Amino acid sequence: MQREEIFIGGSWAPRTGTVDIEGISPHTGEVISRVPEASAADIDRAVAAARAAFDDGPWSRTSPSERADVLRALGKAIEARGPAFADASTAEVGTPTNVSLMIQVMPARFTIDSYADLLEQYPFEEDRPGLLGTCRVVQAPVGVCAGIVPWNVPLSQMATKLAGCLASGSTMILKAAPETPQAAYLFAEVVEDLDLPEGVVSVLVAGRELSEALVRHPGIDKVAFTGSTATGSRIGAICGEQIKRCTLELGGKSAAIVLDDADIESVVPQLLPVAFVNNGQTCAAQTRAIVPRPMLAAITDAMAAHIATMTVGAPTDPATHVGPLVTERQRERVEGFIRSGVDQGARLVCGGGRPADLDRGWYVEPTLFTDVDNSMTIAREEIFGPVLSVIPYDDVDDAVRIANDSDYGLSGTVWGADNARCEAVARRVRTGVVAINSGLVGDVKNPFGGFKRSGIGREMGREGLEAYLEPQTLVLPPGAE
């Protein structure tokens, strides 16, 4: 794919910069796309268009039902082009083709539809008793928003941010990662076909320096970011300086607590896909398996046996379970964590190297460590690759302590024979989402986000909509209705 235009305010505009972004195949290391990097002038144009659309245009004054109609059209258009989006994820990210639709297209469609459903019932105006009479609380759109999305699941992230923003009546500049230009341009083409007023949506592709320029832009009212905790900390600091609203969905080091009554043969095949999905490149990956000490050997052996059946290979092959990492830089980072695990005394059970039969591409074998102490680097840092650490515990209190002994708190799971007992344990874990006997570590109809350094605010559900709303209180005169 090669493009020369930039999508600004709902239509294609000539580029103003001279720098190109090259998309690189993680499977071959070859260039597969080339698009313009957005310049500072492009950001100014996009913000000006969004500002005009919000301040003077009709979008902020549309009814909830009108916005719901637009969202439903967006969801249908994404589903119609689902195979193209799935292929882009496989080509750019290395997502195995057998899960691309499941982790990209389906969540995008369901998230958009859930916001459309919410618009049909959400109380945008509510009369409440005041000190001397009635107060009318109105939920107003927050304004012009910047949506900054990561490379790992670009479609579902663009859909999540744009759907919440449009549902509120706000406008948005989406900034896609330089690793995934194909997904960004496909998304822009879908938005182009919507019946949206001029200026409501722009889609730009740019690196970190231009992303900071977008965050700092005085015309931006709110920033919605998904990505690393380090970058989120920087964005949060800028927003704090400018008293600018922000939602930050950041890193994770999620714990899967296996209770002593769990059925190993049932749990392991469900747990491992949640650890290695998208080649381990998901923020909600269950990368710490916290298991009863008497069951440590049995669970480790079962995991190793299951991993041995997983195929590592070309992401376009339907038989592949684990594909390449997104960039050579990311592979080097993951390999550094693996070395640290060995150096610090964890026992490498399987994996840890590059597949011998793949002489190109950024591949790392699915890797299992056991005898891991929670103080080790591999248990504390987000690796973002196919690496799972097994940590033993002595009793349930110890399991909860280990799970909570983390800078992060994004997701988690609890596995056991008694759902009520699992729920009691889940309530003690300081994390944003906990799935019980399930690998579904998020539900698009309900809030998703993290405790601690995993972020600020929530996306999806009622809370996700409210992140794009400003409550305004109208104090009515005494006796007014």
CA distances from 60 to 121, 193, 249, 324, 347 (A): 18, 20, 26, 43, 57
Task: Report the DSSP beta bridge partners of residue 23.
Answer: 33
Distance CA 448, CA 460 (A): 6
Q: Minimal CA–CA distance to 134: which of 429, 474, 361?
A: 474
Cβ burial of 350 (10 Å; 0-12, 13-18, 19+) is: middle
User: Is position 239 annotated as part of the catalytic site?
Assistant: no
Cβ distance 464 to 128 under 8 Å?
no
- The H or E element spanning position 171 is strand 171-176
Radius of gyration of the chain (CA): 23
Q: What is the crossing angle of helices 181-192 and 82-92, to 10°?
A: 160
User: Is position 249 annotated as part of the catalytic site?
Assistant: yes
Distance CA 396, CA 258 (A): 10
Q: How many other C-beta atoms are found inside a 10 Å radius of the C-beta of residue 117? A: 14
Q: Which of 145, 283, 382, 459 is an active site residue? A: 283
Cβ distance 155 to 104 under 8 Å?
yes
Task: Report the DSSP beta bridge partners of residue 436.
Answer: 414
Q: Which of 37, 92, 249, 365 is an active site residue? A: 249
List, by residue number, the catalytic residues. Answer: 249, 283
